[in-house]
Chain A
Amino acid sequence: MRKGLMMTALLALTAAVSLSALAADSHPAAVLGQAAPEFKLEDQTGKSVSLSDYKGKIVVLEWTNKDCPFVQRHLKAGTATGLAEKYKGQGVVWLEIDSTSTHNTATNLKTVADNKLPFPILDDSQGTVGKTYGAKTTPDVFIVDKQGTLAYMGAMDNDPDGKKKDAVNYVAKALDEIIAGKSVSTPETKSYGCGVKYSK
């Protein structure tokens, strides 16, 4: 019993220390080529989802905000749903994260339903995970490889306005390379879009 209490206190202390460390250092904890930071968030149904739930899988984390015109452009084009479908059979899991301070599981539930999304939207309206990853725009994409290492971070493609005929989808390119066991040739790009509307 006492041991259990001690353990709880120790865990709480560790959590407090790591939280304050995070607050003191404004630089994101997510670094290319290093272990992707663990997180635990609720999906649109209230179910808890952690990165570690998908050990051994390739995980795509896409920051989203239904109110952003750049996100709306990709929704209309079916960019994420198309890629999620294409790579589903190859061990790829697609998760969207919404760090918009005014959104919640209820708005996420509606967005998933309205757009018939085949993947969940995780509620990060507190902004903790977004700031840990250094997500700045919507969309902003991070790919975690099978070893749990951050293998790509940046833009969905090289076509912010959606007008290029020969656009390169960086996410598809990175996924192809990861699946083929190659190193990612363009592992980092500058993301584009609306600024993530974090809570102040």
Chain B
Amino acid sequence: MLPNLCRLVAVFAMLSLTAAASAGSKSSDVKATLLADVTAVKAGTPFSVAIVLTTQPEWHIYWKNPGDAGSATKFSFHLPEGYKADLAEYPLPTKFDQAGDIVAYGYSGTTVFLATITPPKELPNGGKVNVTVDASWLCCKNVCVPGSAKLSLELPVDGGTEKPRPDNRELFKGASAVLPAAVPPPDVVGQVRALNDEAGRAGLEISWKQQPKGDVDVFPLTPEGVELSDIKVNNSHGQNGAVTSKVDMKWRQLAGAQGALKPMPILVAYTDEHGRRHGFFSPIDFQALPNRK
């Protein structure tokens, strides 16, 4: 019985690279696969799936805020009734500086997007469940090519014990370890202060407990109707060896922008002593800034 089950759970990834094919260029192709961290579904027990997207070298796809140009990579889940999908935070992006002051945020190479699937509390034994994800992206280098894939995964329903997949364990562990944190991790960051030195400038002052290696990068989730420019991060070393990062940017509301200004989450990315990149979110509340006109 067990070997049969294992064969059943082989992952099918159905790829449909729509526009990439019509452009006649293979280089813009994005390889897309869907993996699960279990070999069987158990009623009421959440499991994880990973959408793995791989671009060709020098090509990139986009973060949920693409930056000045581009288009966010998007996912939509199709599950049987009673199942719930929660997409995890998007993985840490990198910055692509392009000619003409164009800054884009995204991913090059292999990127793992995670999601948690929660099955209903009660499930009849012996059935199968199909998890389908529609993934879409814009892949750019010197041209941009939209692409999409319908990814499917079939898992048996087994009421017994949990069935982890040892072959995928490292991938899931590695991907979840570097997911951006919702708040600054207290063991790494001492304090984060929102700044506004003068009208139209905002930023963050980050006091580190653990000294970050190399550059500190920021990725703002710019609210609608706001324009940011001149985003800079400067590190300074205090007398006691403490490191402070000062994030500075210009901001303004677009002319005629409607509605109240929402606080802007900023993803701060840093490299730890083991050379691993991490990130956390910290907000700037434009409304709370005293110099707001």
Contact = CB atoms under 8 A, between A and B. Distances in A.
Interface residues of A, number: 37
Interface in A71-113: 99, 101-102
Contacts of A137: 68-69
Nearest to B222: A190
A160 interface: yes
A68 B254 contact: no
Interface stretch (B50-58, B76-84, B94-102, B262-270): B94-102
Interface residues of B, number: 25
Contacts of A190: 224, 227, 254
Given A27-B229, A134-B101, A194-B144, 7 more contacts: A32-B255, A136-B100, A136-B101, A190-B224, A190-B227, A198-B99, A198-B102
A68 B141 CA distance: 11
A49 B55 CA distance: 41
B145 A136 contact: no
Interface of B: 19, 68-71, 98-102, 104, 138, 140, 142-146, 224, 227, 229, 254-257
Nearest to A158: B224
Nearest to A71: B144
Nearest to B144: A194
A69 B146 contact: yes
Interface of A is mostly: loop
Contacts of B140: 194-195
A196 interface: yes
Nearest to B67: A195
A196 B227 contact: no
A116 interface: no
Contact of A160 (B71, B227, B254): B71
Contact of B102 (A68, A160, A195, A199): A195
A80 to B, nearest CB: 19
Nearest to B74: A161
